[in-house]
Amino acid sequence: MFETVIGLEVHVQLNTKTKLFCSCPTSFNHKQNTNTCPTCLALPGALPVLNKEVMHKSIMLGTAIDATINKTSYFDRKSYFYPDSPSAYQITQLYTPVVEHGKLQIDFEDKTQKNIRINRAHIEADAGKNIHDGEISKVDLNRAGTPLLEIVSEPDMRSAEEAILYLKKLHAIIRYLDIGDANMQEGSFRVDVNVSIRPYGDEKLYTRVEVKNINSFKFIQKAIEIEVRRQSEAWEDGIYEDEICQETRLYDQEKDETRSMRGKEEAADYRYFPEPDLLKAVVTDEMLAIYSQIPELLDAKRERFIKEYGMNEYNAGVITATVEMAHFFEMMMSEEGVSAKTATSLLTVELQGRLKGELSLANSPVDAKKLGFLAKRIDDKTISGKAAKDVLDKLMEEDLEVDGVIDALGLKQVTDTGAIEAMCQEIIDANPEKVEQYKGGKEKLLGFFVGQVMKASKGTANPQAVNEILISKLS
């Protein structure tokens, strides 16, 4: 049996307004080759100027992963020719990146934890895009020069599960910090997976294979499993040395296999050297003080919710898993008199259950303020939790006010004990036989009476009051 060894490289597109070394906008969906200038087109003589916002966002990430922020970092040139890179080199940070030696904690279901060390996070420029159109290929340079932060882990993960936990955590942190969209399908969170195996107990690292181009967590999991199987089988068949080499492989989701993209022989010689057109990047104490301020992240928020609201571990985990959910919840809680319990179930069960297809929290027809107000109406006993479901159904269809819908549907809870007493008496009078049976010891029948009263009141009677009144009347 073999131990799996995984190290991950994640390219995060930073959501700055302008590109890394010029003032072209980074926005998507513009006409091809319009967001360009002499710098990102690499015209002779055009010089790069570092975007401060990129330093800011990189340092925020560095702070979130407890890393060292290098107060002086440098840029390097990585030379390679590809049509989507007009300069024929990429500016990156090879020798001294802005962020080094961080860590990220992953949490297992059994509540144990593990720290994954992060070797570095460095800044680099993205390339443009090649568009293949039948016989011809076209180049769109709108993306050329967009800032990327490449976050490189140590080979600390020992299973596909650990790799996915690490990636989900990193993804959530980027969204909490709001330094990138981190959309895997759109390529703003790109993962390269490095996989090797070794006999258990062996400390040495064996040959790693890098798998690229995987655009979902599910496929990352599969690609790792496939690669581990391929390498283990080669070992068992005695052909490990011949079969497994340090190479880049592509994951093919249709065929569910990995295959060689470029081997060691074809590996480019990048001829790295210090970038002559840029100065060193210096972070002053003043900059560091400002740039290292970050919002509360998921782990801290989860712990706070447990302490402050008495929330259970599971719910706190669900609510803080994404920044969208956490902010939605906090917005609901800002409505006075809302309990965490009501807000949690309305959000995680009722609203989530109704957000189907194209709908998500971001474009939910019922926003956090409105759902918070609905929670308030449950907590101040205006309506029952059951009635709230009907109100929510209506609100999902139409942009109406909560109180208006409660009135229109006649769902206001009856808390007036006089009215409830009258209803209870009516049900008792209408069922003399059942009353006899109840008095004769068939106490289970209480449920029947409660049900009848609730039905008669169309669900508006306060169930607790109904229970109490019935018990006292029947005894």
Residues that bind ligand ADP (CB under 6 A): 5-9, 152-155, 194-196, 205-206, 208, 210
- Number of residues counted as binding Mg ion (CB under 5 A): 2
Nearer to ligand ADP, 140 or 247 (CB): 247
Number of C-beta neighbours around residue 324 at 10 A: 14
Strand partners, 104: 116
**Structure-token pair, residue 181:** 């969209």
Q: Contact region for Mg ion (CB under 5 A) — 6-14, 161-169, 252-260, 316-324? A: 6-14
Least distance to Mg ion from the beta carbon of 378, Å? 52
Least distance to ligand ADP from the beta carbon of 94, Å? 9
> How far is residue 86's CA from residue 101's CA, in Å, rounded to a whole number?
33
Nearer to ligand ADP, 208 or 222 (CB): 208
* Cβ-contact 128, 167 below 8 angstroms: no
Nearer to ligand ADP, 158 or 442 (CB): 158
Nearer to ligand ADP, 194 or 258 (CB): 194
Nearer to Zn ion, 24 or 318 (CB): 24
Q: Contact region for Zn ion (CB under 5 A) — 19-27, 156-164, 211-219, 435-443? A: 19-27
388 binds Zn ion (CB under 5 A): no
Contact pattern for Mg ion over residues 176 through 205, marking x by CB under 5 A: ----------------x-------------
40 binds Zn ion (CB under 5 A): yes
Q: Contact region for Zn ion (CB under 5 A) — 39-47, 102-110, 116-124, 198-206? A: 39-47
């009848």: which residue's tokens?
452
> Residue 157 binds what, of Zn ion, ligand ADP, Mg ion, none (CB under 5 to 8 Å, by partner type)?
none
> Residue 37 binds what, of Zn ion, ligand ADP, Mg ion, none (CB under 5 to 8 Å, by partner type)?
Zn ion
> Residue 372 binds what, of Zn ion, ligand ADP, Mg ion, none (CB under 5 to 8 Å, by partner type)?
none
> Residue 147 binds what, of ligand ADP, Mg ion, Zn ion, none (CB under 5 to 8 Å, by partner type)?
none
Nearer to ligand ADP, 211 or 391 (CB): 211
Nearer to Mg ion, 7 or 372 (CB): 7
- What is each CA distance from 281 to 46, 98, 432, 441, in whole angstroms? 19, 8, 88, 84
Q: Contact region for Zn ion (CB under 5 A) — 18-26, 106-114, 372-380, 411-419? A: 18-26
Least distance to ligand ADP from the beta carbon of 208, Å? 4
Query: HSE on the CB side for 10, CA within 13 Å?
Result: 31
Nearest Cα to Cα of residue 162 among 108, 228, 232: 108
Point out the residue whose Cβ comes nearest to ligand ADP. Answer: 7
**Structure-token pair, residue 220:** 């990352």
> How far is residue 62's CA from residue 64's CA, in Å, rounded to a whole number?
5
Residue 166 Rama label (left phi>0; alpha psi -120 to 50; beta)? alpha
Nearer to Mg ion, 22 or 191 (CB): 191
Query: HSE on the CB side for 395, CA within 13 Å?
Result: 27
Nearer to Mg ion, 118 or 391 (CB): 118
141 binds Zn ion (CB under 5 A): no
Least distance to Zn ion from the beta carbon of 145, Å? 6
Residue in 24, 127, 343, 411 binding Zn ion, rule: CB under 5 A: 24
> Residue 22 binds what, of Mg ion, ligand ADP, Zn ion, none (CB under 5 to 8 Å, by partner type)?
Zn ion
Least distance to Mg ion from the beta carbon of 166, Å? 16
Q: What is the CA radius of gyration of the chain?
A: 30
Least distance to ligand ADP from the beta carbon of 195, Å? 6
Contact pattern for Mg ion over residues 284 through 323, marking x by CB under 5 A: ----------------------------------------
Least distance to Mg ion from the beta carbon of 150, Å? 9
* Cβ-contact 217, 190 below 8 angstroms: no
Least distance to ligand ADP from the beta carbon of 128, Å? 21
22 binds Zn ion (CB under 5 A): yes
Amino acid at 280: K
Query: Where does this chain bind Zn ion (CB under 5 A)?
Result: 22, 24, 37, 39-40
Query: Where does this chain bind Mg ion (CB under 5 A)?
Result: 9, 192
